[in-house]
Amino acid sequence: MSQGNIGEAPGPTGARRAAGGARPTEEVRTAAAAVLRMIWGVHVSRAVYVVAALGIAELLARGPMTAAQLAQATQAHEPSLYRVLRLLASLGVLTEHEDRSFTLTILGERLRADVPASMRSWAMLVDCGGGMRSFEPIIETVKTGEPGLDIAYGSGLFEFLAAHPDQAQQFQAAMSERTAALAPSVAAGYDFSAMRTVADIGGGKGTLLAAILRAHGHLRGILFDLPSVAADAAALLQAEGVADRCEIVAGDFFQDVPDGADGYVLANVLHDWEDAASVRILSACRRAMAKDGRVLIVERLIPDDPADAVPVLLSDLTMLVITGGKERTNAEYGQLLADAGMTFASVQQVAPPYGIIEGLAP
């Protein structure tokens, strides 16, 4: 490389050349540094992945360890590992001590597998086939609208997962991790007292449905998902003590869903799909629901204030690249409900940015 230093925002000399001799103001230099941090965001993601993939958070849960000790335990190259750990310490994920040992902060604790609000599976998911590689053709995605995963692998996300069981297992672990953090808020945040039967459509292993049934002892539940997913639900429902009040049904929500439930829960489902497909899913629920039934859409909602929107918009970009779906506003979900023959009744914030949108049959 030539005279500039990699990793630094443009200095006065380089900026002066680029701007025809004008010296940049402090405001401009600060802006350049902020943009550089954005550009290098992927570096942080990969460093976090190292800690998750090598089990370093689990090792540090036992107590302080040096880079040498961690390298020996993980069969890593000590100088290289130290540089990753040092970066994460500067970001508040770890704490580096005077003896060059490291300990976990509250952020680092989230990279353990066995803690509340664990994010370890999400950190691992970034290396899944639906992760980094799907972002590589993002220019083509922006020009054509085709998801990057489809471009990279020649198939959609769910076809890809069906062909790669190890990746599917990692994907499901991340989904379960997210649902486990969200489920108590959903179970407590909506009044289920008027219902007798709740169907969780696309309910995965049953984490959310189990939380709802535990919190509302009068309810019976139906767990509905693809055969490959629903097969894993029985053990979780049994462990949660609700198996005797829950029926597991396998099928395709684009075709038909179980009849007769009072409420149909769609949690983190519709954001996977573009509008026409989402309307098909909602229409299947509309056809199946009991008289006076309702659908409960549990999704991240794009807020009106741009300052609060960043986490949801990052998820929205992920949907663009991975599935072709999108995050939506209240109004956009209202339009989906209308197109499926239902009315928008209410929205309740639970664990923001998540909300529960209630749709009623007319």
pLDDT at 130: 63
- Asked if residue 224 lies in contact with residue 251, where contact means CB atoms within 8 angstroms, the answer is yes
Contact 28, 73 (CB under 8 A): no
**304-340 pLDDT, tens digit each:** 888 889 999 999 999 999 999 999 999 999 999 999 9
Question: Helix 41-53 crosses helix 26-39 at what angle (to 10 degrees)?
Answer: 40
pLDDT of residue 8: 56
pLDDT in tens, 135-170: 999 999 999 999 999 999 999 998 998 898 888 888
Could you tell me which of 106, 118, 125, 105 has the C-alpha nearest to residue 45? 125
Q: What's the CA gap between 112 and 52, in Å, rounded?
A: 7
Report pLDDT for 166: 87
Task: Report how far residue 175's alpha carbon sits from residue 274's, in angstroms, rounded to the nearest whole number.
Answer: 20
Q: What is the pLDDT of residue 7?
A: 58
Residue pair 18/10 in contact (Cβ under 8 Å)? The answer is yes
Helix, strand, coil percentages (3-state) for the chain, rounded to 5, are 50, 15, 35
Residues 283, 341 contacting (CB under 8 angstroms): yes
Q: What is the DSSP-derived secondary structure letter of residue 301?
A: B
Taking only the tens place, the pLDDT of each residue in 19-34 is 556 788 999 999 999 9
271 included as an active-site residue: yes
Among candidate residues 97, 164, 218, 271, the one labeled active-site is 271
Kind plus residue range of the DSSP H or E element containing 294: strand 294-300
Residue that is written with structure tokens 């914030």 in the block: 349
Residue 31 belongs to what H/E stretch? Answer: helix 26-39
pLDDT of residue 98: 95
Query: What six digits make up the tokens of 261?
Result: 């439930």
Q: Which domains does the chain have, with CATH numbers?
A: 42-125 (1.10.10.10), 179-360 (3.40.50.150)
Question: In whole angstroms, what is the distance from residue 237 CA to residue 201 CA?
Answer: 15
- Token digits of residue 237: 């429902």
pLDDT of amino acid 271: 98
**pLDDT below 70 — which residues of the chain?**
1-21, 129-130
Phi/psi at 12 (5° precision): -60, -40
Q: Which pLDDT score, from 0 to 100, does residue 12 have?
A: 47
Amino acid 350: pLDDT:
94
